[in-house]
Amino acid sequence: MKTTLKWVSNITSWLLFGIFIVMVFMVVTSKASGGEPTFMGYQLKSVLSGSMEPTFDTGSIIAIDPSINKEKLKKGDIITFMEDAEKLITHRIIEVKKTANHVQYITKGDNNDGADISPVLSENVVGKYDGFNIPLLGYFMNFANSKIGTAILLILPGLLLIIYSAYSIWKAIKEIEVPKKEESSSTTSN
């Protein structure tokens, strides 16, 4: 029984430590990049609307490749682009227009009835959707990027580790005290 409890205790400790490391990594990389984190050269973006459903759902995390040639995209590619200085959009290219000086893309959300109002200049393309997405994780990433989320995700796992360590130390002291009490009671009865 004691070996099972010790085994569960060790797994719990490592699990809490692992969660703490993952949270610190996500928060630090998102803050260092000024937004969403990057992983192996791909930028991870949160999907905040349903305009691309069913390709990916609201709240998903998608991976985009920022190293693409922005002037060589084709019809059917899904791109993330700057609509303005504050807003990123991810939509599918439905038409490519080339002029002497620029390449423009006409885009549309898969779930939208019509094409986007303004064409996208190739210079405004941030990256191309890679086909990788994780449903619902975007809600967590948005929370992690908020001030409250950052504080909670950095402090909570550390606090849980401290509480669990204090509990483990208390249990170890209790186990040491029980044999001492039994030893002292057996010496007084002799």
Could you read off the pLDDT of 125-141 as tens digits, one per residue?
Answer: 999 998 888 787 777 77
Confidence of residue 178 (pLDDT cuts 50, 70, 90): low
Q: Which long-range contacts (CB under 8 A, 24 or more apart) does 102-108 make?
A: 103/70, 103/71, 103/73, 105/73, 105/79, 105/81, 107/79, 107/81
Instruction: Choose, from 33, 49, 165, 184, the residue flagged as catalytic.
Output: 49
Residue 36 pLDDT: 57
Class of domain 35-137: mainly beta
| 6 against 88, higher pLDDT | 88
Residue 71, Cβ neighbours under 10 Å: how many? 13
Residue 64 φ then ψ, to 5°: -120, 150
Helices 2-33 and 137-145, axial angle in degrees (round to 10): 70
Tokens 């190739």 sit on residue: 122
Would the pTM of this model clear 0.75, i.e. be above it? Answer: no
Active site residue 49: yes
| 189 against 106, higher pLDDT | 106
Residue extents of the structural domains in the chain:
1-34+146-176, 35-137
Cβ partners under 8 Å of residue 42, min gap 6: 63, 64, 65, 66, 130, 132
Confidence of residue 106 (pLDDT cuts 50, 70, 90): very high
